[in-house]
Amino acid sequence: MTIWFQSLLFVGSLLFSILVIYMVKWGRLSIRYSFLWLTLGGSMLLLSIWPDLAKMLRALVQIEVVSNLIFVMLFCFVLLVLLILCAALTDCTDRLKRLTQVNALLEERIRQLEERDSSK
Condensed to tens digits (0 to 9), the pLDDT of residues 45-102 reads 998 899 889 889 889 999 988 889 889 999 999 999 899 889 989 999 999 999 999 9
Rounded Cα–Cα distance for residues 69 and 24 (Å): 30
The answer on pLDDT for 120 being more than 80 is no
Res 1 pLDDT > 80: no
Contact predicate 58/13, CB 8 Å: no
CA distance 20 to 22: 5
Give the largest Cα separation in the chain, rounded: 87
What pLDDT score does 82 carry? 92
pLDDT, residue 5, reads 87
Q: Which residues of 7-27 are buried (b: 16+ CB within 10 A; e: fewer)?
A: eebeeebeebbeebeeebeee
User: What pLDDT, on a 0 to 100 scale, did the predictor assign at position 20?
Assistant: 93
What is residue 98's predicted lDDT score, i.e. its pLDDT?
97
**Which pLDDT tens digit goes with each residue over 9-31?**
899 999 999 999 999 999 998 88
